């Protein structure tokens, strides 16, 4: 070879390598995916993903809300076991985040495939029953044959290891099973009080705790009972509920998409719990608490079923006034989720007073992920159901424009509006039962709605015996709001409420026996 041509060839090779490293040839990077008959014997219709990551964790465990890495997805119909599925920049209908697949720089990443076999599970890479492949390093140089990712493992079902003090309750709901066309259960962990085995004839008041988005009842497993810190000797059954459903968090509200969850909880689950675990069957012996989406849930149950619960202690609830839905007034004409009236992009989360997450990219990330995300979870509760069986979108996913007809339908779940319009009827039933706590620097901008609710309740409280409590705690965020001191205060107030109505409870129980 002529020396100068050899030099030119060498220089060209270096340039090719540099272009590949920079992602210039990312459009040529392809992957092939298949699944085995052992993990899913029938053809699969649903969504398949490739998750990419540079971390030490399996890519399927992402993406993180605050630091999402790249991933792509495509929907398949009747994909057969063993059949090879291609992922490339030319794949029709390929969804990608945070940028088009052809623009992704995948150098230095690992990749893992996931098939969403379990459509009822809100989580993807960690959802029980979903399939996943081995982890493969993305080749530094485009290979002659695309890497093959074989989905041959299933995410296992998480066991509930019962102990002497932690028990599982799982109640089949006739209402929800009929609605969904298959067996549907409400479940929870039950933490027994210290005297439970020593006093077999004793019945107990109950604290129902509702986790926030992504939480479940599996966090309620303990090897020891909680030592009650009150001189009156009041002990509680503590029930940690599982709020997860296909669309994310059903917030224990009746809805067109999730079914009549609130009705099922109050008419099916609670009677079963009281029979199985010696809970006192009286409204004044039932207390609610929850954080974030769980905070909204506990407040919703209290105002929707005011005579069935003795009070709620709600912390950092999701928006309780839709005039400030995380900074957005969804009722305002021309409202836009992505941009404010001045065209500035809307934040959805902050840290140290500075925005760190924005609505538009967050919403588009959820669009690629599919059902089970936080924003879609709201729509599954608050929106009417479309002809395709899915909840109607509150806003256009491309432009962010709010649909005023859907926003109007959301009024049925606007807690401030419900209280305001029904206060004459609800006031006598809610006296002393509402306790809401929020940090004024809430991470997800939830404080604005709570402030509006507080203003409304302050104005209405002259008509309610016992009043309501809405506290805005200075300097507290979504995660720093609940301190041990505040937690002990909640328990003390629940004890006081129970004792204040003990005579009423005992009288009702005696009447039931006669």
Q: What is the pLDDT of residue 383?
A: 98
- The 3-state DSSP class for residue 293 equals helix
- Residue in the block written with tokens 């104005």: 459
Q: What is the pLDDT of residue 143?
A: 85
Using CA atoms, how far residue 58 sits from 63, 70, 113, 114, 154, in Å, is 11, 13, 10, 11, 14
Distance of CA 465 to the CA centre of its chain: 35
- Residue in the block written with tokens 């409420």: 497
Q: What is the pLDDT of residue 465?
A: 60
Q: How many CB atoms lie within 10 A of CB 365?
A: 17
Q: What is the pLDDT of residue 148?
A: 97
Q: What is the pLDDT of residue 404?
A: 98
User: Phi/psi class of residue 401: alpha, beta or left (left: φ > 0; alpha: ψ in -120 to 50)?
Assistant: beta
Cα four-point dihedral sign 462, 467, 468, 472: positive
CA 138-116-244 angle, to 5 degrees, is 125
> Under 8 Å CB-to-CB from 500, ≥6 apart: which residues?
none
Using CA atoms, how far residue 235 sits from 163, 208, 495, 497, 506, in Å, is 19, 14, 9, 13, 16
Q: What is the pLDDT of residue 215?
A: 96
pTM: 0.92
Q: What is the pLDDT of residue 24?
A: 42
| 3-state secondary structure string across 328-360 | ECCCCCCCECCECCCCCECEEEEECCEEEEEHH
Q: What is the pLDDT of residue 463?
A: 61
Digit-by-digit pLDDT tens for the chain (514 residues) are: 444 445 544 544 444 444 444 444 444 589 999 999 999 999 999 999 999 999 999 999 999 999 999 999 999 999 999 999 999 999 999 999 999 999 999 999 999 999 999 999 999 999 999 999 999 999 988 888 999 999 999 999 999 999 999 999 999 999 999 999 999 999 999 999 999 999 999 999 999 999 999 999 998 889 999 888 888 999 999 999 999 999 999 999 999 999 999 999 999 999 999 999 999 999 999 999 999 999 999 999 999 999 999 999 999 999 999 999 999 999 999 999 999 999 999 999 999 999 999 999 999 999 999 999 999 999 999 999 999 999 999 999 999 999 999 999 999 999 999 999 999 999 999 999 999 999 999 999 999 999 999 999 999 986 666 689 999 999 999 999 999 999 999 999 999 999 999 999 988 887 777 6
Distance CA 495, CA 234 (A): 7
Q: What is the pLDDT of residue 14?
A: 44
């Amino acid at each position: 070879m002529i020396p100068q041509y050899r030099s030119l060839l060498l220089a060209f090779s270096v340039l090719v390598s540099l272009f590949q490293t920079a992602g210039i040839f990312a459009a040529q990077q392809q992957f092939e995916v298949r699944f085995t008959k052992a993990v899913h014997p029938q053809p699969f219709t649903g969504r398949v993903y490739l998750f990419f990551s540079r971390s030490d964790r399996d890519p399927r465990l992402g993406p993180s809300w605050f630091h999402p890495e790249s991933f792509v997805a495509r929907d398949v119909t009747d994909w057969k076991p063993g059949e090879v599925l291609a992922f490339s920049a030319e794949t029709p209908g390929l969804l990608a985040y945070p940028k088009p697949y052809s623009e992704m720089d995948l150098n230095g990443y690992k990749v893992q495939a996931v098939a969403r076999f379990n459509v009822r599970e809100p989580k993807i890479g960690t959802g029980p029953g979903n399939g996943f492949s081995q982890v493969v390093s993305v080749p530094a140089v485009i290979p002659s044959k695309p890497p093959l990712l074989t989905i041959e493992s299933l995410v296992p079902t998480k066991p509930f290891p019962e102990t002497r003090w932690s028990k599982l309750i799982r109640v089949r709901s006739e209402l929800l099973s009929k609605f969904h066309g298959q067996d549907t259960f409400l479940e929870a962990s039950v933490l027994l009080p210290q005297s439970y085995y020593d006093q077999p004839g004793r019945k107990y008041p109950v604290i129902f705790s509702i986790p926030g988005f992504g939480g479940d009842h599996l966090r309620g497993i303990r090897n020891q009972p909680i030592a009650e810190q009150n001189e009156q000797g009041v002990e509680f059954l503590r029930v940690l509920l599982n709020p997860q459903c296909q669309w994310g968090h059903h917030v224990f509200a009746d809805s067109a998409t999730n079914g009549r969850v609130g009705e099922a909880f109050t008419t099916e689950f609670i009677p079963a719990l009281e029979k199985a675990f010696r809970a006192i069957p009286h409204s004044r012996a039932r207390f609610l608490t929850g954080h974030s989406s769980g905070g909204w849930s506990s407040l919703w149950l209290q105002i929707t079923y005011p005579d069935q619960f003795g009070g709620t202690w709600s912390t950092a609830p999701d928006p309780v006034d839709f005039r400030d839905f995380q900074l957005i007034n969804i009722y305002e004409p021309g409202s836009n989720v992505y941009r404010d009236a001045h065209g500035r992009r809307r934040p959805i989360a902050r840290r140290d007073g500075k925005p760190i997450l924005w609505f538009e990219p967050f919403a588009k990330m959820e669009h690629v992920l599919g059902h089970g995300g936080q924003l879609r979870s709201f729509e599954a509760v608050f929106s009417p159901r479309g002809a395709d069986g899915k909840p109607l979108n509150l806003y256009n996913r491309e432009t962010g424009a709010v649909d005023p007809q859907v926003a109007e339908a959301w009024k049925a779940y606007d807690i401030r509006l419900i209280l305001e319009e029904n206060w004459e009827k609800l006031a006598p039933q809610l006296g002393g039962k509402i306790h809401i706590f929020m940090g004024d620097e809430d991470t997800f901008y939830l404080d604005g709605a709570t402030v509006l609710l507080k203003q409304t309740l302050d104005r209405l409280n002259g008509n309610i015996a016992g009043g309501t409590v809405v506290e805005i705690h200075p300097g507290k965020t979504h995660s720093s709001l609940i301190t041990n001191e505040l937690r002990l205060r909640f328990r003390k107030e629940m004890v006081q409420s129970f004792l204040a109505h003990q005579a009423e409870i005992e009288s009702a129980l005696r009447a039931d026996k006669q």
